[in-house]
Structure 1
């Protein structure tokens, strides 16, 4: 890997002071699950790496009854948190499906939310792909069986974060700090399509840090995440879905449906939500919502199978959240 300077930041203030304004020149390091691989493969070639393990690593209640989760919280601690598992089941389920026990013991919430795409053309230094400043997206005419079926183009990556999908379903906000102060951004607006941001995936500027996740009160929402993988051992999902439902006497009064691993961003489906609202929480309704969620899918040459896989993930996430057996 390219040699780089190393800064160990004791807190948020020191971490911000060590960052820079030019993309890719200074990168934060938390658990290192993603960054170390990028460094080894020379996809990331920073001049300086900033250790941000000193950021907040706690989970605390907010005054309105929600949760404030520090970016340095490890996935294993997120899974074990009683309030997360009882009130935000979709988030706990997504975290528990991430990687291996070793990865969950080191990986952090912020690292999971900020990881780069897993596209094999992007990850291979031999391919000057569109996202790395090249002339074309190699997946269009190449091996695209794991690429996007929704919202793709000009780059056809799929979003890699397992936690971002349920966070969008819960309407979470992300706290961002930088030299211009701090702000809270909806998770749904934090991630950007390639047509808007080709060389990055988020609205985060190089001199800004993601420091916290802020979850609104769960109230009576029921939620679930359902993931489909080739192998039950460590593997990246083919498709998955996170669903948050409000139920009244067996009828869906409100719903949020978000798909993962099928688009360059966590893909919220207003069509599926509309198909659920006002309808009984049963298998027939779940099937209609799943069909609505994938109605606009545009598969590539080798990934049409993902359409049915994603439909199944949406249907089962809805039924699981509603407590209905398929």
Structure 2
């Protein structure tokens, strides 16, 4: 499909790799009249490198992102995030656009037994119990966490998302692409009917930029993040001149921590207190009954990520 209207059917949806949307259909969460394939969409399977940076089409697979040499060398945080997703089989099928647009993995949302807020109900069942995997930051009424790994890396890289429909394109900083439940309870992003993610743009990093992605999960393979962190630092003359830290697995959207960015910027790398930086990242945390471990885990991971980069 090339810029195909999905307005012809009230419950039409675009599909690329299908690893998430097919699961929603099978679980009875999503009713679809028509699935419109994006296969063959012009330019959507390309990775284009230039002096301005990188453009990655929405249909590029996670496996290709993880192994592409230009990404591995220039944007290691993104390659590492893509490599961390699920299993090799899923990475060979799952796409960049699909990973950004996947729905929550919250077991109350995914279960037909619970009519939760995210499905138009009146209760977030995670508020009281069974919330081991839920949000500790940025959540009010609904405590989902956004499941995308690559979104966290792209947030640390100041990426731009290009959204398309039959009429044309619009683009936005990746942080503006996602919406929290308190803005729109029934959606996780700004896509309107008939729109799809067509590509992602990443600016060319300056010399001295280094980046890393760390992910904690219960099992070695095929698990979503308990917590994850993406860090990009620009270092010149032993001084951090720019910092971007993003968190995953802990909030309803990929989560920026600007207070950490500000604290790191301008510091000599030999003088950075990584433990204090880790604590600063979670200072606004509001854990639920079963997930206070995420506060300690996330602080530790931020400290580890920053420590790794300033030791390079």
User: TM-score if structure 2 supplies the norm length?
Assistant: 0.95
Cα deviation, residue 319, structure 1: 2.1
Unaligned residue ranges in structure 1 (runs of 5+): 1-8
Could you tell me how far 1:124 is from its partner in structure 2? 0.6
Question: Residue 284 of structure 1: CA displacement?
Answer: 4.7
Aligned equivalent of 2:195: 208
Matched, 1:230 2:218: yes
- Equivalents in 1 of 2:196, 2:256: separation in Å? 25
- The counterpart of 1:162, out of the listed 146, 149, 174, is 149
Aligned residues: 309
Task: Give the aligned CA root-mean-square deviation in angstroms.
Answer: 1.5
- The offset of 1:43, in angstroms, is 0.6
State whether residues 160 and 174 of structure 2, in contact with CA within 8 Å, keep that contact through their aligned partners in structure 1: yes
Deviation, 1:50, is 0.8
Report if the CA contact (8 A) 2:6-2:193 is conserved: no
Q: 2:119 aligns with which of 132, 135, 145?
A: 132
What displacement does 1:68 show? 0.6
> 1:20/1:211 Cα in 2 relative to 1: closer, same or farther (>3 Å)?
farther
Q: What is the match of residue 108 of structure 1?
A: 95
| Inter-partner Cα distance in structure 2 for 1:54 and 1:155 | 37
Task: Tell me how far apart the structure 2 counterparts of residues 209 and 143 of structure 1 sit (CA, whole Å).
Answer: 34
Aligned to 1:122: 109
Change (3 A) 1:171 1:109: same
- Contact 2:6–2:13 (CA under 8 A) maintained in structure 1: no
What TM-score do you get using the length of structure 1 for normalisation?
0.91
Provide closer, same or farther for how the CA distance between residues 184 and 39 of structure 1 changes in structure 2, counting only shifts above 3 A.
same
Cα drift, residue 185 of structure 1: 1.0
The equivalent position to 1:218 in structure 2, one of 196, 201, 205, is: 205
Task: Give the superposition deviation at 1:154.
Answer: 1.2
Matched, 1:49 2:35: yes
| Distance in 1 between residues matched to 2:221 and 2:271, nearest whole Å | 29
Alpha-carbon offset, residue 80 of structure 1: 1.4
Task: Report how far residue 105 of structure 1 moved.
Answer: 0.7
- Find the aligned partners of 2:84 and 2:145 in 1 and give their Cα distance: 17
- Please state how far the C-alpha of 1:65 moved relative to its aligned partner: 2.9
- Gaps in structure 2 of 5+ consecutive residues: none
Match of 2:239 among 248, 251, 271: 251
Tell me by how many angstroms 1:232 deviates: 1.7
